[in-house]
Amino acid sequence: MNLRPLALIAVVMFFPVQPTAAELRVPDFKARYSIQKAGLDVISTTISLQRTPERIEYRSQAEPVGIASWFFRDQRVDELSVLARVEPRVVPLEYHYTHEGSDKNRNERYRYDWATMTADVDYRGEEKTLEIPRGTMDNFSLQLALIQDAGRGHKVITHPVISRGELKTYTFKNLGREAVDTPLGEFDTVKLQRRKDDEENTTYTTWYAPELNYLPVKVENQENGDVVLSLTLEELEWL
């Protein structure tokens, strides 16, 4: 028996599509980002979104550059979210995180079953099944959902997320508009921020450019007000 049509029927049932003028369909794209630590480029990441007749593939491929490549030259990180073609909603079916070259098992795999509202989780070799609410995503498919959220103008955004093999709830605040300078020029952006409840006062801030279909042009991870990591858009191609 072919289970794929049954799975898609379940997706449609649990995620009815009711498009509005505010909904955003992100075009297929390929973008390169540079990740900096302590002011130095340490990772180059290529993120792409591509549609096939049956599914949507959202992928990231990262490798060390600069000084970091001296110490981690054999390490590569690939992330893949396989999504159902029920647009404009983000409906994940699978998530794969593969870390090559590491001396530890850092791999993750999630498979969503929307008919039973569960997710099979393999987090670094530990397997279990989670009961999940409607709209649950992983950290990677969440990025695509936030691109759409940035265009909707909501002041507070909440999503259930599977992170590190556990079900969590992430809350983001819309901090308004801000101009951001990038290697591709200056963009007027929508600024979203998530704050962790921890001793380091950790925040994750992302700037989304309406001019680029709300793709992020800058991301910052701060602890106690200091930038720990930053990510900047350097190249973009619409496919």
- pLDDT string in tens for the chain (239-residue length): 434 444 444 444 444 443 333 456 789 999 999 989 877 788 899 999 999 988 999 999 988 775 544 444 567 889 999 999 876 788 999 999 998 866 688 899 999 999 999 999 999 999 999 999 999 999 999 999 999 999 999 999 999 999 999 999 999 999 999 999 999 999 999 999 999 988 889 999 999 999 999 999 999 999 999 999 999 999 999 99
Give the type of residue at 209.
A
Q: What token pair was written down for 84? A: 């159902």
Phi then psi for 134, rounded to 5 degrees?
-55, 140
d(CA 92, CA 7): 12
d(CA 89, CA 106): 29
Helix (H, G, I), strand (E, B) or coil at 233: strand
Q: What is the pTM of this model?
A: 0.87
Nearest to 189 by CA among 170, 171, 176: 176
Give domain 4-11+24-238's CATH number out of 3.40.50, 2.50.20, 2.30.230, 1.20.1280. 2.50.20
Q: What pairs with residue 99 in β-bridges?
A: 77
Q: How far is CA 2 from each of CA 5, 160, 239, rounded to the nearest angstrom?
A: 7, 30, 31
d(CA 74, CA 29): 27
User: Do strands 156-163 and 137-138 pair parallel, antiparallel, or not at all (unpaired)?
Assistant: parallel
d(CA 2, CA 209): 41
d(CA 177, CA 98): 35
Sequence ranges of the domains in the chain: 4-11+24-238
CA angle 183, 185, 189 (to 5 degrees): 110
